[in-house]
Amino acid sequence: MTSGFSSALKLTDLNDYITPSQACVKPVKIEKNENAKVVRIDVESDGTYSEVNEDGSKSKLKATKISLTDCLACSGCVTTAETVLIEAQSIDELISRLEDRAQWRQVVFSVAPQVLASLGAHYQLTMPECYRKLTTFFRQYMRADFIFDTSFSRDLALLEQAAEFVARFQQKQSSDPQATLPMLASSCPGWICYAEKTHGSYILPYISTTKSPQQIMGSLVKTFLPKVLQQRQVDPSIPIDLASGNILHVSIMPCFDKKLEASRQDFYSDLLQSHDVDLVLTSTEVQQLFQRYNVDFASLPSTSPPILFNNLSEDGSLFGVPGGSGGYLEYILRFAAKQLFNLELPAQLEYKQVRNSDFREVVAELNGQVVLRFATAYGFRNIQNIVRAIKSNQCKYDFVEVMACPSGCLNGGGQLKAQAPMTVKQALQAVEQVYDTTQVYRLPEHNPAVKQIYQEWLGGEPLKSEALHTKYHFVPKLEIK
């Protein structure tokens, strides 16, 4: 099954949500029940699933039968269809596309901050240092024109998703029957595939329509970049309406699921005959590129990235937000508390662990009353419990930051692996340390370049443009006869 893959892409490595301490979680069929009093779902020692009722009693759940083509596509395993997509987004495919460099007017790489943290921990560098060295590598060896930073597009994602949450909350307060809360974060493609293929059309309206930072950057690169280059006379010959088809956009991400996200038909333009993101590589595959070209990454000189589409400050610092999975919970909670209740939350939020370290909640209170209740749910065990609560009308949260990987995106399946004698846990802690200490926190609305993009391209303010939003689709199950 793995033949033809880059050597980084093996089934044992496609492990976005399974850690050595966590068994594989198979989907179970969960029916909506208005009168259900189910508290949680437990995985028994024999691998079966049980609903735990309010009184402590248990009832067995029937496992959903799936075929290979009905897989969760969560990178814990790979289906035949998804194998083809991933093979089409390998190191060899990238090199093949770059052999005829003349066909591409612009070659663009965009790099996720989680990737920079993974490289930084491995090579003992800061995130800004990794960004500059990657700029050198991609320009020198991949003949890239631009190397962008998806923490920039994440600012747009945060602003859009925060505005979307406030709008939904106000709808709910006005008793609008179309209002759907809790709002579930949408940036994790493993979670999106799981929701589309496992829980049908019922759960999809709860998911934020805001695109992920990867796909927002794709929209920027294919739609807005040609306009910017022409206006600045970087390349005045570019026809704005057609240039995007001649841009090769490569995204560097912390998990293999992002390859599947980039391949969605929702992000394909019939006019331009291209996807917003043409090819995705992971942190591990980038390291394999270093090895292929015999490059000592730590010794590479630094090159300043373009001012366009990055979050570097004038003094060389990298702006970011708290939270290794994009910071959705914390930013949206603060934004909503201020917009809805004129509340300024403390600098340090007080999280309460619910079931485990990947399932935590935090609240905003006004006059001693809880007015907003948010949660993180990382890993499929926690996600299943959130979904079960929603389907039984017992979910107490207003917003849930959902990620398929335990510990979130910093622990993505495409991140660099722990090197002996370091344990997996120690390696993750090192990545978290780099992420938390080598960025300068800045609110997205304080990004002047983002303000300019809203003015020039997105209708002036969040939710005024469909360019940063998408749709989800119910995928019917295939029963094994």
pLDDT at site 53: 72
d(CA 339, CA 471): 26
Q: Are the beta carbons of 128 and 297 closer than 8 angstroms?
A: no
d(CA 327, CA 293): 35
H-helix or E-strand spanning residue 366: strand 359-366
Task: Quote the DSSP letter at residue 327.
Answer: S
3-state secondary structure of 313: coil
d(CA 404, CA 98): 32
Q: Are the beta carbons of 33 and 65 closer than 8 angstroms?
A: no
pTM: predicted TM-score of the whole model, two decimal places: 0.83
Q: Which residues of the chain have pLDDT under 50?
A: 1-28, 38-39, 45, 47, 65-81, 235, 237-242, 478-481
Amino acid at residue number 349? L
Structure confidence by residue, pLDDT tens digits, 39-92: 455 555 454 556 667 677 777 766 554 433 334 343 444 444 455 566 678 899
Q: How far is residue 392 from each of residues 25, 60, 104, 387, measured CA to CA in Å?
A: 21, 17, 51, 9
Q: ∠ at Cα 95 (90, 99), nearest 5°?
A: 150
Neighbours of 59 (CB within 10 A): 10
Task: Quote the DSSP letter at residue 62.
Answer: P
3-state secondary structure of 384: helix
CB-based burial, 449-462: b 16+ in 10 Å, e otherwise: ebeebbeebbeeeb
pLDDT at site 1: 36
Structure confidence by residue, pLDDT tens digits, 312-326: 887 888 999 999 999
